[in-house]
Structure 1
Amino acid sequence: MIYIGVTGWGDHDLYPAGMASRDKLKEYAAHFPTVEVDASFYAVQPARNVEKWVKDTPAGFRFVVKAYQGMTGHQRGEIPFSSKEEMFQAFKQSLIPFVDSGKLAMVLFQFPPWFDCRKEHVAYLRYCREKMENYPIALEFRNQSWFSAGFREQTLRFMEVEGWIHSICDEPQAGEGSIPVVLQATHKEKTLVRMHGRNTAAWMKPNGKNWREVRYLYKYSQEELEEWKARIQQLQQESKDIFVLFNNNSGGDAAGNAKDLIQLLNIKYEGLAARQLDLF
């Protein structure tokens, strides 16, 4: 199956005017069958939050949960846990409602641009795999060294052997801190595709306080989505389920592009939530 959605559910042009934030996931689930949970990156989520998200979505809905920033080296300042062991354990505990409901698609480990291909970083990936036990985990790099000519095949083989789901990226090609599109599944059950846009000018240039707001400012053209239609169909030959998440939402384009791709692929999702507007 092809699951198409966006990253987060709070800031998209999907909702009736005045809709409370607490009700937005219910409405979001009337449009898409999957979402990326970004809140889990900034803090390990309390059970009450996850239980509400699970309750607010239909049975067939799937969550891609972003790994906590302390687990991927993004943390600035002290980590609010006494040890890495405690940190990983707390994060896994937060996943229990997702798992019990059957709604956990995967946990996404996205590593920062400085996380390059070297021995100690490979060792840390093995550590993460061990600590995450049997949870489905996806791996996304932001340093192109992993897919350089000398390491590409070794990287893909490592991911396959260690049981990592490949997070394939469409993103600006802006030097060392970006990766190319590598169309190869490493997991027979699942593959993740994340659409970051192609705003090359803003990708690696923090030239202002609004840099992070414009980094994902991009709208995919029909031609670019047609290209990805063919790529997704190719990946279907290698992996049972394909998850496609649009992250190009600085200008509010993610939801629209996601719907465009659903239409291009002629997908008719069944079992979505009832739209709130349909209730009146």
Structure 2
Amino acid sequence: MNILCGSAGWTDKTLIACKRFYPPDCRSAEARLRFYASQFSLVEVDSSYYGMPSASNSALWAERTPADFTFDIKAFRLLTGHQTLREALPKDIAMAIPHAGEKNLYYRDIPAEILDELWRRYREALEPLRQVGKLGAVLFQFAPWLICGDEGRAHVEECAERMHGYTVAVEFRNNSWLNAEHVFGTLELLKRYKLVHVIVDAPEEVTNRAHTVWEVTNPDLAFVRLHGRNAATWSATGAATAAGRFDYDYSDDELRQLSTPIRDISNRAVRTHVIFNNCREDQGQRNARTLIEILRT
């Protein structure tokens, strides 16, 4: 089976606190990753969204996992157009950016020569995983205010060019990209740059999400991210963490229904990654295990 299933992260506080996934003796970062990798062959690294990844961490992850294990890496938030606190940047880079008292920085605020250095360090941080064949896709989850227009397309193209040679997956959050007017052009843009279109499962009734489009834009990889279907928490201002926002437990029936298009999409690509982003407690891990069993039957 060319379908790998896993969860978004393996260190969420609610996952550790629930004490249902990790054995009692898994108390260190190393022990938890080794145990996770004994259960699944794929994981998405989410910490790399909140802060710049490091080559030293990548090397440790590579050492602590089996030879056939795969890491999908979520791109650093500044690169995807999200607001970013200065403290999230490496200290020397943060100090080099002009300061006008603003709380958040955006991609457009960063001088060109500093952006060059930031991209260089980002690619460098991924190398230990790439060198041993454990780097899957680099996931660019673009900010919800990145709309389908000249500026938005230019940024997607820049990211593709900066990450040339890597497998880059793209998840849009603004519905303009995959609506009836723009879906064909968006998919053609992704195909032109060999970018992987991320197929999302999310609450149907919310408007601040991209449409679910079951298409493959890079024949090497199909990518599905399952965010749960909790409309009440999707846009809730009180949901301070991802675990709160994506609090949803897929039923077995829902997973059986999803298995049909997942199987179909897997026939159009060499590999298929399925990531559960419903990261409250052990929901994602349990759902991933269930889906694996369904796909095996």
TM-score, structure 1 length as denominator?
Answer: 0.91
Matches within 5 A, 1:67-216: 67-78=75-86, 80=90, 81=93, 82=96, 83-206=114-237, 208=238, 210=240, 212-216=242-246
Q: Match of 1:216, as an amino acid?
A: F
Change over 3 Å in CA distance of 1:209–1:200 after alignment to 2: closer
- State the partner residue of 1:53: 61
Change over 3 Å in CA distance of 1:110–1:163 after alignment to 2: same
Q: Match of 1:114, as an amino acid?
A: W
Task: Kindly indicate which of the two structures has a greater share of residues assigned to helix.
Answer: 2
Q: CA deviation at 1:43?
A: 1.7
Q: Deviations over 1:160-219 (max 9, x none)?
A: 11110111110113443112221001110101111100000111121x264644211111
Check the 8 A contact 1:43/1:68 in 2, yes or no: yes
Q: CA deviation at 1:32?
A: 0.2
CA distance in 1 between partners of 2:296 and 2:243 (Å): 32
| 2:44 aligns with one of 24, 36, 49 | 36
Q: CA deviation at 1:87?
A: 1.1
Corresponding residue pairs, total: 266
CA distance in 1 between partners of 2:153 and 2:220 (Å): 23
Secondary structure of 1:181's aligned partner: coil
- CA RMSD between the two structures: 1.6
- State the partner residue of 2:74: 66
- State the partner residue of 1:276: none
- State the partner residue of 2:99: none
Show structure 1 runs of 5+ residues with no match.
268-280
CA distance in 2 between partners of 1:240 and 1:108 (Å): 18
Matched, 1:6 2:14: no
Q: Match of 1:24, as an amino acid?
A: R
Check the 8 A contact 1:10/1:21 in 2, yes or no: no
CA distance in 2 between partners of 1:77 and 1:58 (Å): 35
TM-score, structure 2 length as denominator?
Answer: 0.86
Q: Deviations over 1:211-253 (max 9, x none)?
A: 6442111111112111111011110221110000111122431
CA distance in 2 between partners of 1:179 and 1:3 (Å): 23
Check the 8 A contact 2:233/2:239 in 1, yes or no: no
- State the partner residue of 2:256: 226
Check the 8 A contact 1:184/1:235 in 2, yes or no: yes
Show structure 2 runs of 5+ residues with no match.
97-113
Q: Match of 1:64, as an amino acid?
A: D
